[in-house]
Chain A
Amino acid sequence: MQFKDQMDFIKQHMKRNKLRVATTILAAMMGCAFLIILASVGFGMQKTVTDQVLDNQIVTEIEVAGREDGESITDKEVEAMNQLAHVKAVTDRTSPNAEAVAKIGDRSGFAATSTVDMEQEQKAGLKLAEGKIPASADEVIVGYHFAQNLLTEEEQKKADEGEEVSGGFAGSLIGQTFQLELTPYEGEKEAATWEFTVSGIKEEPGKDWITDNTLLIDDSWAPVFQEELALEESGRQVLVYADDLQNVSTITQTLKDDGYYVYSVTEELGSMNMFFTALKAGLIVVGTVAVLIASIGIFNTMTMAVTERTREIGVMKAIGAKPKLIQKLFLMESAAIGIIGTVLAILVSYGVSMLANWIVPKIIMTSLGEDGEGMGDVNILISVIPWQLVLISAVISIGVAMVSGWRPARKATQIDVIQALRQEL
């Protein structure tokens, strides 16, 4: 029998039992839609949390926290990291072990000081809101909120008392010279002061709640500070930047193998993904129970179809239809129920998912206050349906439909022709 004829045959039978087939399809659709929607909540939660993680940091950044053997990271080792494949840049920031205060006229403020390799910083993606990258060692880059943080003594007092102080240094800092006073946290050395000129101001941080007071000074100053202030070991932050997110895990692994303590976004996402994979698998298993319940309906429908058509099956066998063809026709019919149910389920699931993503955040916003204060700029996704979920659900749903049609189809092949032909019309 040609495939088109087989399809016509199935269509004809399904039309003859419209109501029963429709209710079975409805049950199959509900089971599959439940599976998709339930699992989509897992995917939605994962996306919300992952987006949060990725939003809060540079995804290609790998932090090298130190050596596993306790030794300090040497300049040579930093250079070796820079030579690794797919490494775009390695920033090596050293913070002097001293309190750093910047002063311009009667204003002063805390400066998160680091000595850096300006070229590597630039390669790593340092972006300026104003000015340019320093051309000489006496020029520096300051954070976006550096000027705002320079307060008079009076303003500082108010700020210490918890009052809101607005203002800071008025006008542009570019080209301004300021004094940097470094007071060692430990040791007997007195504070020392150096003069620097602001060459560039860093871009505004992505998040409203981040205050950027950094002060980036050329790394040729590091030994000067060390010597003049007789500083203890300074804090060193080595950050390796991959050329692409997909290479982060490889570089992370290489650095780990080389004996470094490493942290990258893939590490965080890795453990997070493991949790969400388990969660999603759990949700799919629970959802599959609904599909299995729906499969009972398919089993019943197909069993009834075989019983009702016993005489017809007998005639078909008598006139030369092979048992395999009979079996195939019934399997195709249960598969058709599964396929139609699954297609409808996918459409319904996308609809429900969109509705949930529209309504639920609104409800959360309302419960948190009129303007949703406390939510920050978190973008909540209740449900996400990736194509993989659609594929998994379709395979489960259609597979279960076919398995439930298997037994009735087998029964159809075993129908005795003589008994079938004796049945009353």
Chain B
Amino acid sequence: MIEIQDLRHTFAIGKKEHERKVPVLKGVTLDVQKGEIVAILGKSGSGKSTLLHILAGFMTPESGSVLVNKKETAKMKEEEKADFRLANFGFIFQNFQLMPGLTAFENVELPLKIKGETVKKRQAKVRGLLEKVGLQEVADHYPNELSGGQQQRVSIARALVTDPPILLADEPTGSLDSETEQDILMLIQSLNQSLGLTFVIITHDDEVANVAHRQYRLHDGELVKGEKRHAI
């Protein structure tokens, strides 16, 4: 489903005259199968977010290739990338990244609006998803009226609303307490099992990585394979 081949990327640090090149990814190669949860562990600054951003098409790598469903995102134009993301990826962010002016319902509905779905279709879909993540009671609440766990559930519902085959999670429990973290991790596992969704989770937390079928550790720009935790 996802094939990453010899991915290399360097950041330029400092002012032009004293510019220093810092390599973040030094030939990363990774295959992710359909229905798999893959966790990429790493310390802060290890390049794991860069890997996710390249995978999502937010940035273009210096070299190497990223094939998602056999399509190379790096070669796409911005407009094509947007369409591709809408059809293939759901995003779960550490800070939830909900729209403060929209209710939980409207936040979940947003990708469908962008997609141009009809009101009827949208409402049925959003209601069903809010029920699935256990938020039907707070559908009319704004993000600042929700707890961190509830906000992350809204964020997950939003990621699922367009039925993407792949979910990219960047520190999905980074802003949550340990009890809520467990709830979210269970939700991720249940979604993986019930819907067969593919997850790529970026985390620094071993606890989070434990839900993955496979773990990798990014160390000094290189991907080191961890032990296989579960069978798919």
Interface segment, B96-104, B198-206, B217-225? B96-104
- Taking a contact as CB atoms closer than 8 A, the residue among A2, A9, A312, A320 that contacts B162 in the complex is A320
Mark B35-63 against chain A: 1 for CB-CB distance below 8 A, else 0.
00000000000000000010010110000
Is the C-beta of A304 less than 8 angstroms from some C-beta in chain B?
no
Does A72 reach chain B (CB closer than 8 Å)? no
12 A-B pairs besides A318-B56, A320-B86 with CB distance below 8 A are A2-B116, A12-B101, A12-B102, A16-B101, A315-B99, A316-B110, A317-B82, A319-B114, A319-B158, A322-B83, A323-B79, A418-B59
Interface residues in B80-117 by Cβ distance below 8 A to A read 82-83, 85-87, 91, 93, 95, 97, 99-102, 110-111, 113-116
Query: B78 in the interface, Cβ–Cβ < 8 Å?
Result: yes
A5 to B85, CA, bound (A): 20
7 contacts across the A-B interface (CB closer than 8 A): A1-B113, A1-B116, A315-B97, A319-B86, A320-B83, A320-B87, A425-B95
Question: Is the CB–CB distance between A320 and B111 below 8 Å?
Answer: yes
A103 an interface residue at 8 Å Cβ cutoff?
no
Is A191 an interface residue when CB atoms closer than 8 A count as contact? no
B114 touches A421 (CB 8 A): no
Write the residues of chain A forming the contact surface with B, with a CB cutoff of 8 angstroms.
1-2, 5, 9, 12-13, 16, 311-312, 314-325, 417-418, 421, 425
Q: Are the CB atoms of A2 and B85 closer together than 8 Å? A: no
**Given A12-B101, A418-B58, A319-B83 contact (CB < 8 Å):** no
Q: Considering only CB atoms, which chain A residue lies closest to B102 in the complex?
A: A12
Docked complex Cα distance between A184 and B118 (Å): 95
How many interface contacts (CB-CB < 8 Å) are there between A and B? Answer: 63
Q: Is the CB of B53 within 8 A of A418?
A: yes
Of all chain A residues, which has the CB nearest B162? A320
List B contacts of A1 (CB < 8 A): 113-116
B residues engaging A (CB < 8 A)? 53, 56, 58-59, 78-79, 82-83, 85-87, 91, 93, 95, 97, 99-102, 110-111, 113-116, 118, 158, 162
Contact call A323/B82, Cβ cutoff below 8 A: yes
CA distance A5 to B95 in the complex (A): 26
C-alpha gap A315/B56 in the complex (Å):
13
The distance in angstroms between the C-alpha atoms of A5 and B59, with both chains bound, is 29
Q: In the complex where A321-B82, A323-B82, A418-B59 touch, is A316 in contact with B97 (Cβ < 8 A)? A: no
B12 CB, min distance to chain A CBs, angstroms: 15
Inside 8 A of B116's CB, which chain A residues have their CB?
1-2
Contact with B82, one of A16, A311, A322 (Cβ below 8 angstroms):
A322
Nearest-CB residue, chain A, relative to B49: A418
Q: In whole angstroms, how far apart are the Cα atoms of A13 and B99 in the complex? A: 11
Contacts of A315 in B (CB 8 A): 97, 99
Chain A residue numbers with a CB within 8 Å of B53 are 417-418
Report the nearest A residue to B59, measured CB to CB: A418
Cβ of B97: which chain A residues have Cβ within 8 Å of it?
311, 314-315, 318, 421
From A311, A317, A319, A421, contact of B110 by CB (8 A): A319
Query: Among A318, A321, A325, A418, which residue has its beta carbon within 8 angstroms of that of B91?
Result: A318
B114 touches A318 (CB 8 A): no
User: Are A325 and B114 also in contact (CB < 8 A) when A318-B56, A319-B158, A418-B53 are?
Assistant: yes
For residue B94, which residue of chain A has the nearest CB? A421
Residues on A with C-beta less than 8 A from B58 are 318, 417-418
Bound-state CA distance A425–B87 (Å) is 27
State the CA gap A417–B53 with chains docked (Å).
9
In Å, the complex CA distance between A305 and B116 comes to 24
What is the CA–CA distance of A315 and B58 in the complex, to the nearest angstrom? 11
